Amino acid sequence: MSRGGRDKSREQPERRCIVTGEVQPKPGLIRFVVGPDNIIVPDLAEKLPGRGIWVAADRAALEKAATKGLFSRAARAQVKAPEDLAGLVETALARRVVELVSLARKSGNAVAGFEKVKGWLADGRAKVLLQASDGSERGKGKLWTPTGGRWFGCLTASELGLSFGRDHVIHGALAAGGLTDKVILEAGRLTGLRGHDGGNTAAGKE
């Protein structure tokens, strides 16, 4: 199991984390490149030019890479990491998850609200259950992880609310297809950065 929360697959490209030394599938890692002025730049979309430097999607790993000179060692040059690199990456990942869920909602592949989510779960339509990290444990425990699907509790109620154009949302669900696989990828990385699952008590949570 990778730090991003996914099973390793022989079909997935693998990279070595410069902190742990472990080789693992790319979904559990975050790519960095050396930018202008030899500043380390997160490349969450994995599209920036340059040689990639990979770090596990884990706050402690990022902090160690930034403070122990591991980026310079990997780049074979003197480079500098921005202040609070882990915080910057966490914020950027949260923004990506919020935006992806919002796009899924606009395409009809996401719903919010206890009753709608429960309906999608009961009908087998839901592939992903999203629950706010700061939501009521009693309420969250009444829903369940989709069979063969995923559960994430890495967003706050206000962040999840942004995805649905509301002040706050506690329960959300995504159908299969569309952007759902991308949400799973980025939410897995964000979970690694935030280091918790929101204390979910939903039955059948993976």
In the chain, the domains with their CATH numbers are 14-83 (3.30.1230.10), 93-194 (3.30.1330.30)
Instruction: Please state the three-class secondary structure of 49-97 as a single string.
Output: CCCCEEEECCHHHHHHHHHCCHHHHHHCCCCECCCCHHHHHHHHHHHHH
pTM over 0.75: yes
Q: Which residue has the tokens 């829903």?
A: 143
Both tokens of 111, joined, read 């719903």
pLDDT recorded at residue 11:
76
12-52 pLDDT per residue, tens: 899 999 999 999 999 999 999 999 999 999 999 999 999 99
CA distance from start to end of the chain: 12
Q: How many CB atoms within 10 Å of residue 58?
A: 23
Q: What is the pLDDT of residue 195?
A: 78
pLDDT digits (tens, 9 = 90+) for 59-75: 999 999 999 999 999 99
The per-residue pLDDT for range 167-184, each reduced to its tens digit, is 999 999 999 999 999 999
Quick check: 141 pLDDT over 80?
A: yes
Burial of 42 (0-12, 13-18, 19+ CB in 10 A): buried
Q: Is residue 98 within 8 Å of 104, Cβ to Cβ? A: no
pLDDT computed for residue 35 by the predictor: 95
pLDDT at residue 202 is higher than 90: no
Is the pLDDT at 8 greater than 60, yes or no? Answer: no
> What's the pLDDT at 126?
98
Region of 166 (left: φ > 0; alpha: ψ -120 to 50; beta: rest) is beta
C-alpha 204/C-alpha 146 separation (Å) is: 8
